[in-house]
């Protein structure tokens, strides 16, 4: 596939790995967080860590919309489907996300909930048009990449004056989350954390919001950010660029993913998002807790399409499992294998913490792609 | 991870809709979030929407840079 | 006095008719459906016996018995339909024990309202698949369930086969050092099916690979009677099937991503939907594990067979107390290829 | 460094859990369902092989193969459930060819949302029926269909058996002059099922007669190896089964109403619903047609067996170019007992 | 079963048969019509004809509510289910009655119609209560026996002010049909017909309407009627009673079925029927054509429960098959085997005429129970 | 044919409902169309409704008459 396969070339990767190893100064360490689950996925799936020098550590960030979805929000989605009897349209990613009491949308479906998997917000709107006698709710999740399509269908529903279509909005924002992690890992922060040296910045989020969006906190925290595509060579190139910035003592926003990201981003998408959504004052992120100004809600003028308003949903937060070390893992203090329940009580089938929920979470990625290393390490020990 | 891939537009269907091709797979996509897309353009497809255009010149530049980095060319590696 | 005329039964309306509850009642309507459709299409001496089971000759060698329910949706897909799939699927499960498939039994669960024209098409496809494979459908059963309690048609086929002396194929015989071969491209069936799914639909040239593999198996056994393991990577795909075998044999596996045969359109569909082709179903492929010493000969025999043209040696059985299936990525890294977790759903992130 | 712990899988929740789509995905959830429920319940050496089919010893004599899909509603009924019914039904079809049933294959089509507790109850009942019958379930398959596309659970069983030399039982061997025997009371199963149907429901002591008949068959063959026809009058009841045999053998039949074994409650239920008990299903009865000369011995053997206590000689095979089944009514008249026409529905007029 | 088995005793039947043979005068013939399908059924099922002398002929009447249901009325029921999307509750007897274009309720169900079999009008009412969001129509058919339960549920629905329950009324009346057959078989009638000598009168219809109801036309046409139960000994006794009346030259209404029929019938049932229903001026009977004052419709005051009114059903008559000899068979002129299509194009699976529709019709009864006689007769010829 | 059979009332359930028994089958029936039914009475059951009572004395009389007719007693046969 054009513009995909070229960025997965093995020989180039190995050469790039060698170049990174050469560039990395042996006397120092490089602690780089890839914010996005997409990068986590690429790193795990292609085994990128095997190509990197030992003193360069990748720390998996929380940039996976499914992982950060709080249990209470999934509970509300299930409530919509089971108690309010709506047709709930959801992305495939959401179906197995655990809710309270061992439920999930998939299990709710087995109990009679009318849950329909969609692959596009447009399919949800179409479901509403096809079922005029039913209430249809679109369970909208995702970062800035996924928000514009939701905005488009809300506007279309408004133009069509649909009476049976609403959106349960769970869209979250990337920059506040990165800022939160930087604040937490900064010297003197409230929580203990490994200091992060640099960030690999989001790919498609940046396509929409532009590289500009990261400039303020790069300036504030003086940590380099390189926006990178999700292909493995993109990630390796970004790592090399970050090593070079760190070696040179620079802290800039650089853009590796120039083929799809500009400084200002997709203005048309930004406009329609601004038209339909506004900032929430605070929003709970699973694994991170409540973050201020980190999510969107539907504006008053589109209130007729807001499922939270139409169905009077009350948010009930659900505490994370006490054994879960996700927080420490996200802050770079621990590794998945340091969690007592990793791979035993907590597995992808029965995740206890947010990092085990989607294959992009740090624990799930390690479980699904990397846990053989724990055994190998143990045997050689 | 915001699953999105570059796809080639092969037909404009009107009404902000188009048909794309990727590796022999063809599917409809909405162009509601992008302007001035022509047949032959590549766009970044996410959940059935083009969320941006793919700049082919920049892609080639990146590939060249990767090739020279891999070749260990000092210019490419100069931070 | 008037003459007595022979009872006349209006023939089944295979054009516009539909299955109704009487077709499963055990009475005349069911007898008619069986006579005019099933018996006519599958015609063979055993079915003609007309009993509730088939009386068959004594089978030589050890017996093999395998059964599969087929519930595919949509019923018709590029490259096949539930009918030929039901024949191939069970023949393959029999063949995967190194057996020569001899007979099939077929049981149909029809949903009230199912168009007889569709049923006729499916039965014709089944009959021709059985004929091509040389494995007759010798007995069957038909039930009808009320509308909304089925899904058009479900077909369970059961196969019986016979294993020649000296053949000892079984999932528990993979040994460290053995070679792992696959008979062709991966994921074709699953992608062909997905291309027709509501809310996913895409146009593609990919066709299901549905095929009966016993001929290929015979060709492999001809060059190496002591194949260790054969298995068709159906539901759960290559990844899950290798994990099954690893667990059964108590070994690990190491495969090489670069050697996996994959069509570009299958890769593209998987990229688009966020799926991993290693977990996508195949219906005309087999995994073969054999001693490394015979791997080349077996691979050559595969490639010489029309159903094995794209065959590849993809990896090696290794010693691993954890029974992990690991993969050397094309990229040069290494990772686990785990069991399928849940079901593989299209993703957006 | 932390120690590495063995992967732990939360056991199936057999109390409150439900079938979901992952149980049919081919992945870990399916493997768990098979391990913890099916393999545990049916446990035997062949199932333990863990392959997609079973490798069995060489079978002596001619083979018999029979298959039946079971779609009964309700799933649980007085005297049994779909599980034991699925075992008995197929064992009986094998036995009706004079064969010793050897092995069963079982394929399950589960509806998303089906309570695991119900499934466990059904599987336990199947396993105990198979154990009691001495016929192991050696291979199986599980599929899950979406809610609204199935009906709780459908079970297709396929049986393989072996026929001793000298036994030639077949539906085409009824000859004029042969005696027609039935092994017990008619219509019990159908009435037990109807008693639970919505809009019909009634309280009754009638239980389904579901039972495996191969032991009875063996007892009959012991006194007369040359039985001509055996058949279990399931769907369509005695009437339809006799018509089938008459057609197959090209003969007529004459039965006597006064000799038909019928429970009073079955008669009463039929009166109430406007049904004819001759068309109501049985699941533990057989029709035996044999030379008149051996009829007394065969009848005595039937009556000596626990499943044949109420056996009766009900009529005679006659010559009839029309293949009619006629009945001498208890009343002294005569009439045809025709094929079931359509399905037998409760009537009000 | 008490009061059932005693009336099926074989030895008594044979003795009674002998008594009838003795009583029947060999020089004359006895042409007796059993009006009711119930009697037809008993005669066929128990083989009563075999016990009767050759000069006593039973002619099967039209007293089978399913047989006389015109195609157009079944078409309307299907229209309700398929076009109006109602839940149509019908007795099992109606499901396979052929409608136009090879349809039937059973086939409509296979095409998605929501047709539910009920065994009681009360079940139809319950269906309406259980499905408040759906329109439920009860497809009411039957003679005077079946009408009172329909009246009861209409009254109940009215008391409950149900908005989603209506009745598609097809109830017909026995006396006008008997009168029509008597008129047709009377000397000088418009249509040729065998003169009928006597009638076996309905059993359960008479339980409701009483033996009195037959007195007017017995007086007018001077043909004896004996009301008989549906058990075979009831029928034989009634035949003997009719032979005796005919021998004596009497023409009276006699009651064999005294255990369940009185002269005035069930007054309570009659009252509620009169409360809910009124006479239609005319109604089509399949096989007989339009008969005046032969059926009931729902009174204006219960119009809210009349499906014909709520759904604006228009009756479209459908002509009977031209080859069909039902008319001649019902009038005693022909036998089923005289029909060219009997047992070939016309079978119980694919009935062309009304007499083949239910097992109580003359042709169906002959097909299902008696057709071996045609072959036997042919062979001996 | 107006399928109806005599059944014995075994329990009054109130609200015009009762339980009947016939040959070991028990089922609910409506008494809305009949008056004064007591436990032990026989009624004629049709489509879940009692459409009339069964007069046991009359039934016995009929049976006696049948018996004497069958016995060929002249009195019984006298028209
Ligand atoms: S293994 Fe599970 S519980 Fe432990 S840190 Fe990871 S997600 Fe949390
Ligand atoms: S056989 Fe059919 S067409 Fe002929 S008279 Fe009878 S019902 Fe009419
Ligand atoms: Mg199988
Ligand atoms: Mg299989
Ligand atoms: Mg297999
Ligand atoms: Mg069968
Ligand atoms: Mg369906
Ligand atoms: Mg069978
Ligand atoms: Mg059977
Ligand atoms: Mg059978
Ligand atoms: Mg299988
Ligand atoms: Mg259901």
Domain boundaries, chain C: 21-163, 179-336
The whole-angstrom distance between F6's CA and the closest CA on chain D is 10
Please tell me whether residues E84 and E185 are part of one structural domain: no
pLDDT in tens, D267-297: 999 999 999 999 999 999 999 999 999 999 9
For domain C21-163, say whether CATH 3.40.1080.10 is its number: no
Residue C48, chain D, CB below 8 Å: the answer is no
pLDDT in tens, A95-133: 989 899 889 999 999 999 999 999 999 999 999 999 998
CB atoms within 10 A of CB E340: 12
What is the interface size between B and C, counted as CB pairs within 8 Å? 42
Question: Smallest CA–CA separation between C322 and chain B, in Å?
Answer: 30
- Residues in a beta bridge with D326: D254, D336
Cα angle A3, A9, A10 (rounded to 5 degrees) comes to 165
**Which CATH number goes with the domain that contains E143?**
3.40.50.11740
**Ligand 2 binding pocket includes E325 (Cβ within 6 Å):** yes
Residue C74 sits at the chain D interface (C-beta within 8 Å): no
**The total number of structural domains that make up chain A:** 3
Query: What CA–CA distances, in Å, run from A73 to A69, A78, A145, A291, C193?
Result: 7, 9, 20, 15, 33
Q: What is the pLDDT of residue D1?
A: 35
* pLDDT > 70? residue A17: yes
A233 → chain B, closest CA residue: B66
* Chain E and chain B touch, per 3+ beta carbon pairs within 8 A: no
Check: CB of residue E285 under 8 Å from CB of residue E173. no
Same domain assignment for residues A72 and A168: yes
Residue E189 tokens, joined: 């009638």
Token pair belonging to E73: 């009325």
> Do the Cβ atoms of D178 and D142 come closer than 8 Å?
no
**In the numeric block, which tokens belong to residue A319?**
């505490």
Residue B55 has pLDDT above 60, yes or no: yes
Per-residue model confidence as pLDDT tens digits over E104-150: 999 999 999 999 999 999 999 999 999 998 999 999 999 999 999 99
Q: Kindly calculate the radius of gyration of chain F based on its CA atoms and give it in whole angstroms.
A: 16
User: Do E163 and E272 belong together in one domain?
Assistant: yes
Residue A12 within a domain: no
User: Ligand 1: which of A37, A60, A67, A341 to mutate, most ligand atoms within 8 Å of CB?
Assistant: A341
Which pair of structure tokens corresponds to residue E229? 């139960």
- List the subunits that have 3+ CB pairs under 8 angstroms with C: A, B, D, E
What residue has token string 């309720």?
A: E105
Percent of chain D topping pLDDT 70: 98
d(CA A268, CA E113): 49
Residues E186 and E160 in one domain: no
CATH of the domain at A55: 3.40.50.11750
The three-class DSSP label of residue C104 is strand
Q: What is the pLDDT of residues E296-336, one digit of tens each?
A: 999 999 999 999 999 999 999 998 888 999 888 887 788 89
List pLDDT tens digits, range A318-371: 988 889 998 888 878 888 989 999 998 899 888 888 888 888 889 999 999 988
* The pLDDT value given to residue F75: 63
pTM of the model as a whole: 0.95
Q: How much is the mean pLDDT over chain E?
A: 93
Backbone angles phi, psi at C308, to 5 degrees: -125, 15
A261 neighbors A255 (Cβ within 8 angstroms): yes
CA atoms within 13 A on the CB side of C59: 27
**And the tokens for E368?**
């299902």
pLDDT tens figures, D98-122: 999 999 999 999 999 999 999 999 9
Residues A374, A334 within the same domain: yes
Tokens, residue A48: 């990128």
What b/e string do you get for D156-177 counting C-beta neighbours within 10 Å, with b at 16 or more?
bbbbbbbbeeebebbbbbbbee
Inter-chain touch A269–B33, beta carbons under 8 Å: yes
pLDDT over 90 at E29, yes or no: yes
pLDDT tens-place string over residues A152-193: 999 999 999 999 999 999 999 999 999 888 887 777 777 777
Confidence of residue D195 (pLDDT cuts 50, 70, 90): very high
Residue-by-residue DSSP string for A45-85? HTTGGGGS-TTEEEEEEEE-TTTTS-HHHHHHHHHHHHTS-
Contact at 8 Å (CB) between D48 and D87?
no
Q: Residues of E with CB below 8 A from C29's CB?
A: 349
Size (chain D), residues: 349
Both tokens assigned to A266: 């997709």
Which atom of ligand 1 approaches the CA of A287 most closely?
A: 8
CA A247, CA A198: separation in Å to the nearest integer? 12
Task: Give the mean pLDDT of D74-78.
Answer: 96
Same domain, A126 and A183: no
Q: What is the pLDDT of residues E204-259, one digit of tens each?
A: 999 999 999 999 989 999 999 999 999 999 999 999 999 999 999 999 999 999 99
**Does position E72 have pLDDT exceeding 50, yes or no?**
yes
Residue E193 has pLDDT above 80, yes or no: no
Whether E188 shows a pLDDT value over 80: the answer reads no
Question: Domain boundary at E209, E225, E255, which?
Answer: E255
* Touching partners of B (3+ C-beta pairs < 8 Å): A, C
Q: For residue A311, what are its two tokens?
A: 């169905």
Q: Is C256 exposed, middle or buried (0-12, 13-18, 19+ CB in 10 A)?
A: middle
* DSSP, res A325: -
Distance D113 CA to ligand 12 centre (A): 10
Residue whose entry in the numeric block shows the structure tokens 């085990």: A356
Residues in chain C, overall count:
349
> Do C7 and E338 lie within an 8 Å CB cutoff?
no
What is the DSSP pairing of strand B17-22 with strand B5-14? antiparallel
Contacts of A107 (CB under 8 A, 6+ apart): D18, D20
- The fold for domain C179-336 equals Phosphoribosyl-aminoimidazole Synthetase; Chain A, domain 2 (3.90.650)
Query: In chain A, whose CA is at the least distance from the CA of B56?
Result: A259
Is residue E321 assigned to a domain?
no
| DSSP-assigned beta bridge partners for residue E199 | E33, E225
pLDDT tens profile E270-299:
999 999 999 999 999 988 889 999 999 999
Looking up tokens 């994370």 gives A320
Cis geometry, peptide bond prior to residue A66 (ω within 30 degrees of 0): no
Please give the pLDDT value at position C3: 46
**B79 to A247: CB separation less than 8 angstroms, yes or no:** yes
The pLDDT value recorded for residue A319 is 87
Per-residue pLDDT, averaged over A205-234, amounts to 96
Instruction: Looking at the structure, tell me whether residues A146 and A76 fall in a common domain.
Output: yes
Residues of chain C with pLDDT under 50: 1-3
pLDDT (tens digit, 9 = 90+) per residue, C228-262? 999 999 999 999 999 999 999 999 999 999 999 99
Q: What is the mean pLDDT of residues A245-256?
A: 97
E strands present in chain C: 54-56, 62-70, 76-77, 80-81, 99-111, 137-145, 153-163, 179-182, 229-231, 252-256, 287-290, 312-318, 325-328, 334-336
**Contact call for residues E305 and E176 (beta carbons, < 8 A):** no
pLDDT (0 to 100) of residue E328: 85
pLDDT (mean) for F14-22 = 96
Whole-number Å distance between alpha carbons of D245 and D252: 9
Q: Does E232 sit behind a cis peptide bond, omega within 30 degrees of 0 on the bond before it?
A: no
Output the pLDDT for position D186. Answer: 98
Q: Nearest-CA neighbor of C155 among C140, C133, C136?
A: C140
Pick the atom of ligand 2 nearest to E357's CA. Answer: 7
Give C101 Cα–ligand 10 centroid separation in angstroms: 25
Q: What is the CATH number of domain F5-72?
A: 2.30.30.140
pLDDT of residue A293: 95
DSSP string, C60-100: PSEEEEEEEEE--SSSEETTEEHHHHHHHHHHHHHHTTTEE
Residues of chain D with pLDDT > 90: what percent?
A: 89
Partner-chain residue, chosen from A38, A119, A149, that has the shortest CB–CB distance to B1: A38
DSSP 8-class letter at C13: -
**Among residues of chain E, what percentage have pLDDT more than 90?**
73
Check whether A19 has a pLDDT greater than 90: yes
Ligand 9 center to C43 CA (angstroms) = 20
State the Cα–Cα distance between residues D60 and D162, nearest whole angstrom: 6
Task: Sort strands C179-182 and C287-290 into parallel, antiparallel or unpaired.
Answer: antiparallel
Which ranges constitute the DSSP H helices of chain A? Answer: 10-23, 37-45, 71-82, 105-110, 121-130, 147-159, 174-185, 204-209, 215-221, 232-248, 267-276, 307-310, 326-330, 362-365, 372-380
* List of chain F residues whose C-beta atoms are within 8 Å of the C-beta of residue D271: 5, 22-23
CB atoms closer than 10 angstroms to residue C27: 25
| Partner-chain contact D338 E45, CB within 8 Å | no
Contacts of A120 in chain C (CB under 8 A): 199
Among residues E311, E319, E292, E359, the alpha carbon closest in space to that of E71 is found at E319
Could you tell me if residue E315 is inside a domain? no
3-state helix vs strand vs coil in chain E, percent to 5: 45, 20, 35
Distance A342 CA to ligand 1 centre (A): 6
Tokens of D289: 């047609």
Task: Ligand 1, residue A334: give the atom nearest the CA.
Answer: 5
Q: Does the structure show a pLDDT above 80 at E190?
A: no
- Angle, helices B56-70 vs A232-248, to 10°: value is 70
| Domain containing residue E334 | 326-380
Instruction: Give me the residue spans of the domains in chain F.
Output: 5-72
CA distance, residue E348 to nearest chain D CA (Å): 7
Q: How far is the CA of A95 from the centre of ligand 1 (A)?
A: 20
Which residue's structure tokens are 């072996």? D162
How far apart CA C50 and CA C46 sit, in angstroms, is 8
Which spans in chain E are helix H? Answer: 10-23, 37-46, 71-82, 105-110, 121-130, 147-159, 174-185, 204-209, 215-221, 232-248, 267-276, 307-310, 326-330, 362-365, 372-380
Cα of D69 vs centre of ligand 8, distance in Å, is 8
Q: Which two tokens stand for residue B61?
A: 């530049």
Distance of CA A189 to CAs A24, A182, A291, D16, D125, Å?
28, 9, 15, 46, 62
Residues D148-160, mean pLDDT to the nearest whole number: 98
Q: Does A353 or E80 have the greater pLDDT score?
A: E80
DSSP state of F53: E
- Residues C287, C236: Cα–Cα separation, whole Å: 13
């Amino acid at each position: 596939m054009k513009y995909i396969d070229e960025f997965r070339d093995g020989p180039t990767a190995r050469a790039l790995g060698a170049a990174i190893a050469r560039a990395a100064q042996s006397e120092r360490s490089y602690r780089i967080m890839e914010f996005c689950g997409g990068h986590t996925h690429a790193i795990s799936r292609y085994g990128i860590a095997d190509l990197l020098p030992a003193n360069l550590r990748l720390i998996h960030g929380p940039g996976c919309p499914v992982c950060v979805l709080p249990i209470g929000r999934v509970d509300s989605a299930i409530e919509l489907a089971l108690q309010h009897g709506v047709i709930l349209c959801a992305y495939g990613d959401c179906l197995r996300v655990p809710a309270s009491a061992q439920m999930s949308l998939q299990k709710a479906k087995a109990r009679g909930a009318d849950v329909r998997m969609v692959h596009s917000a447009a399919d949800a709107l179409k479901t509403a048009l096809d079922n005029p006698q039913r209430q249809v709710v679109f369970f909208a999740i995702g970062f800035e990449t996924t928000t514009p399509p939701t905005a488009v269908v809300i506007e279309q529903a408004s133009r069509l004056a649909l009476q049976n279509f609403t959106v349960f909005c769970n869209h979250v924002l990337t920059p506040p989350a990165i800022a939160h992690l930087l604040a937490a890992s900064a010297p003197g922060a409230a929580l203990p954390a490994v200091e992060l040296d640099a960030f690999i910045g989001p790919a498609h989020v940046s396509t929409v919001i532009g590289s500009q969006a990261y400039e303020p906190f790069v300036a504030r925290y003086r940590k380099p950010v390189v926006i990178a595509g999700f292909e493995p060579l993109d990630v390796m190139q970004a790592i090399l660029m970050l090593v070079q910035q760190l070696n040179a003592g620079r802290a800039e926003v650089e853009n590796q993913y120039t083929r799809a990201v500009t400084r200002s981003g997709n203005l048309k998408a930004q406009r329609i998002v601004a038209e339909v959504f506004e900032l929430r004052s605070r929003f709970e992120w699973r694994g991170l807790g409540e973050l201020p100004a980190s999510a969107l809600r539907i504006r008053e003028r589109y209130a007729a399409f807001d499922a939270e308003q139409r169905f009077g949903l009350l948010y009930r937060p659900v505490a994370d499992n006490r054994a879960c070390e996700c927080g420490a893992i996200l802050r770079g203090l621990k590794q998945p294998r340091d969690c007592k329940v990793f791979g035993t009580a907590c597995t992808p089938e029965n995740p206890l913490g947010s990092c085990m929920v989607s294959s992009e979470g740090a624990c799930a990625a390690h479980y699904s792609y990397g846990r053989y290393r724990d055994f190998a390490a143990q045997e050689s020990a | 991870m915001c699953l999105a891939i570059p796809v080639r537009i092969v037909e404009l269907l009107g009404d902000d809709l188009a048909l794309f091709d990727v590796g022999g797979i063809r599917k409809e996509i909405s162009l509601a979030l992008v302007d001035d897309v022509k047949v032959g353009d590549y766009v970044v497809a996410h959940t059935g929407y083009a969320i941006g255009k793919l700049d082919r010149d920049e892609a080639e530049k990146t590939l060249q840079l990767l090739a020279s980095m891999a070749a260990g060319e000092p210019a490419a590696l100069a931070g | 006095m008037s003459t007595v005329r022979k009872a006349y039964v209006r023939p089944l309306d295979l054009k516009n008719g539909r299955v109704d509850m009487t077709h499963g009642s055990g009475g005349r309507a069911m007898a008619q459906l069986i006579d005019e459709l099933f018996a006519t299409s599958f015609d063979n001496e055993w079915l003609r016996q007309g009993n509730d089971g088939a009386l068959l000759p004594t089978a030589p060698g050890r017996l093999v018995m395998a059964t599969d329910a087929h519930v595919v949706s949509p019923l018709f897909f590029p490259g096949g339909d539930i009918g030929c799939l039901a024949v191939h699927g069970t023949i393959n499960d029999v063949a995967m024990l190194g057996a020569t498939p001899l007979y099939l039994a077929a049981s149909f669960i029809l949903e009230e309202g199912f168009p007889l024209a569709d049923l006729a098409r499916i039965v014709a496809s089944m009959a021709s698949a059985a004929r091509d494979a040389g494995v007759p459908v010798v007995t069957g059963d038909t039930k009808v369930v009320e509308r909304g309690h089925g899904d058009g048609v479900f077909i369970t086929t059961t196969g019986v086969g016979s294993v020649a002396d000296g053949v000892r194929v079984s999932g528990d015989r993979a040994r460290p050092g053995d070679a792992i071969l696959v008979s062709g491209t991966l994921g074709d069936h699953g992608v062909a099916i997905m291309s027709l799914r509501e809310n996913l639909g895409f146009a593609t040239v990919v066709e299901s690979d549905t095929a009966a593999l016993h001929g290929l198996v015979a060709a492999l056994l001809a060059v190496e009677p002591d194949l260790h393991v054969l298995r068709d990577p159906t539901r759960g795909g290559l990844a899950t099937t290798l994990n099954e075998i690893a667990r059964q044999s108590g070994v690990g596996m190491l495969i090489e991503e670069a050697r996996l045969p994959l069509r570009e359109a299958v890769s593209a569909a998987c990229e688009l939907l966020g799926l991993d082709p290693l977990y996508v179903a195949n219906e005309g492929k087999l995994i073969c594990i054999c001693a490394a010493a015979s791997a080349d000969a077996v691979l050559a025999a595969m490639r010489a067979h029309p159903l094995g043209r794209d065959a590849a040696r993809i990896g090696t059985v290794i010693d691993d107390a954890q029974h992990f299936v690991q993969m050397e990525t094309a990229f040069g890294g290494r990772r686990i290829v785990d069991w399928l977790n849940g079901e593989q759903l299209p993703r957006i992130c």
